[in-house]
Structure 1
Amino acid sequence: MTHRKIESWLTDMDGVLVREGLAIPGAPEFVKALRDAERPFLILTNNSIFTPRDLRARLSRSGIEVPEESIWTSALATAQFLSDQIPGGSAYAIGEAGLTTALYEVGYTLTDSDPDYVVLGETRTYSFEAVTKAVRLIQGGARFIATNPDTTGPSTEGPLPATGAVAAMIQAATGRSPYYVGKPNPMMFRSALNRIDAHSETTAMIGDRMDTDVVAGIEAGLETFLVMTGSTAAADVETFPFRPSHVVDSVADLVDLI
């Protein structure tokens, strides 16, 4: 199936391993195979609400057992990026524990007084007051960073406005566009590769979205696998100007490659 030797794996979470809180058939076996073979791997998610500990517990409830250090979120990638740019800097953060904890852990100070950055992440309850504060800080010179460009997120009642939608509102008010760290920015994949000391030529990315997982994997130089268990249908693949290395039904088809 593959023309490269795959030594390390990156995989999206929602739509690849879990869907609506339930494990996708074959996902627990796939992750167990990775762990048994001691293959370096990371589970990637653009969701910046939750900490790796939260996500580990969520996956465990679905029957997928992973250590916290095998989870890489857009919040962690954003915090790492900011720490590389301005070590020990300051930020005004709009987000939840996943983002604020990640910023604290890289030594950032959270403040609403002359911060180096305004950092926008996912939250269940966006405050207009917080958005207004962000607008004024950016107009005052703070750099504008967002964890991910997703404009909507899922909920049991239907789509919810997400980071990208709120970022667009702030951009319209300030005339300043944010730098997005999460997928499809290959920056998130490169930081993930560095975290597990992996090389792009021997790493594969598994995703369910052409416009984030696959395109970022291609741009980062990875072998890419598109699964049909998430948001992309087989007919959709032909509408994009790029192609994944492989299209498979689910991660269950990839266990034998480990």
Structure 2
Amino acid sequence: MTATLDHQPIHSWLTDMDGVLVHEEAALPGAAEFIAALQQYGRPFLVLTNNSIFTPRDLRARLSRSGIDIPEESIWTSALATARFLAEQKPGAAAYVIGEAGLTSAMHEEGFILADSDVEFVVLGETRTYSFEAITRAIRLITGGAKFIATNPDVSGPSAEGPLPATGAVAAMITAATGIRPYYVGKPNPLMMRTALNRIGAHSETSIMIGDRMDTDVKSGLEAGMRSVLVLTGSTQEHELTKYPYRPTAVLDGIADVVPLVEQLTPHESVELDED
């Protein structure tokens, strides 16, 4: 199969992290070269993740250990996107937050007061230590009128021992108890794409999203008006593409196959992607 990106140049790049650049703690082939090429050619870019546990500093250190050098300011998490969104809704409000440093620090940096009563928002993120007490508190606050926000809808996350319950699974429990569904900010909500594009001053029609999941990365890129590349090193495999009513602009084996795009495509050129 062949896909052509010739109607608009690519000025800016968004890429998922897990399954595209890294798997567990190991860099995937071509990941370091891809980031180096973006930096060498001066292409604006952001690395995105729905994981709200870690701060950009934490993630930068993790990527650095795998041999990928990315500055903190080039990492955009669902926690950062959630805090930015809420700051635009009601700046300086009080919020009850279930999550770890990635989320609590993002909320603090946007000027929110973290409290456990009289709050405007209940904000649910990912944590490895969900407590019954915290979930009960969230249910009571939401029942009392607090607005329910969640960083991302992922129901499970990976670990060395196997899947772990994630934000979406805990949100479902709270919804069952309250009858209220959260507003999810992270992928596949195109809001996360738009906040990322705004962060680097980019436009959707001249940007591209690279991901390993059809249901989050490709969908959110599509709904934000971007072209997309699906790489087959993560969640979605090629035989699963027929399940979806939409398609990425291109399907490639891995991030190593994207490096020539960065090297060859200028604002005045187009390039043909060979997907075979």
TM range, smaller chain: over 0.9
> Aligned residue for 1:157?
161
> Is 2:69 the counterpart of 1:76?
no
**Following TM superposition, where does structure 1 have runs of at least 4 consecutive aligned residues deviating by more than 3 angstroms?**
none
The 2-side partners of 1:239 and 1:144 are apart by: 31
Query: Which of 38, 44, 57 is the matching residue for 1:40?
Result: 44
Tell me the TM-score normalised to structure 1 length: 0.99
Identity of aligned residues (%): 69
> Is 2:94 the counterpart of 1:90?
yes
> Aligned residue for 1:59?
63
- Equivalent positions of 1:127-166 (< 5 A) are 127-166=131-170
The 2-side partners of 1:239 and 1:119 are apart by: 32
> Alpha-carbon deviation of 1:238?
1.2
Q: State the one-letter code of the partner of 1:109.
A: I
CA deviations over 1:115-171 (Å, ceiling 9, x no partner) = 110000000010000000000000111000000000000011111110000000000
> Alpha-carbon deviation of 1:14?
0.2
> Alpha-carbon deviation of 1:92?
0.2
- Equivalent positions of 1:22-33 (< 5 A) are 22-33=26-37
- Equivalent positions of 1:167-186 (< 5 A) are 167-186=171-190
CA deviations over 1:50-83 (Å, ceiling 9, x no partner) = 0000000000000000000000000000000000
> Is 2:236 the counterpart of 1:237?
no
> Aligned residue for 1:220?
224
The 2-side partners of 1:239 and 1:246 are apart by: 16
> Alpha-carbon deviation of 1:2?
2.0
What is the aligned residue count? 258
What is the DSSP-based 3-state SS (H/G/I as helix, E as strand, rest coil) of the residue aligned with 1:56? helix
What is the DSSP-based 3-state SS (H/G/I as helix, E as strand, rest coil) of the residue aligned with 1:238? helix
The 1-side partners of 2:122 and 2:43 are apart by: 37
The 2-side partners of 1:251 and 1:37 are apart by: 17
Show structure 1 runs of 5+ residues with no match. Answer: none
What is the DSSP-based 3-state SS (H/G/I as helix, E as strand, rest coil) of the residue aligned with 1:88? coil
> Alpha-carbon deviation of 1:32?
0.4
> Is 2:210 the counterpart of 1:209?
no
The 1-side partners of 2:100 and 2:239 are apart by: 37
> Alpha-carbon deviation of 1:232?
1.0
Show structure 2 runs of 5+ residues with no match. Answer: 263-276
> Is 2:2 the counterpart of 1:2?
no
CA deviations over 1:70-119 (Å, ceiling 9, x no partner) = 00000000000000000111110000000000000000000001111000
> Aligned residue for 1:122?
126
The 2-side partners of 1:123 and 1:161 are apart by: 9
> Alpha-carbon deviation of 1:226?
0.2
Q: State the one-letter code of the partner of 1:35.
A: Q
Tell me the TM-score normalised to structure 2 length: 0.93
The 2-side partners of 1:139 and 1:219 are apart by: 32
What is the DSSP-based 3-state SS (H/G/I as helix, E as strand, rest coil) of the residue aligned with 1:169? helix
Q: State the one-letter code of the partner of 1:65.
A: D
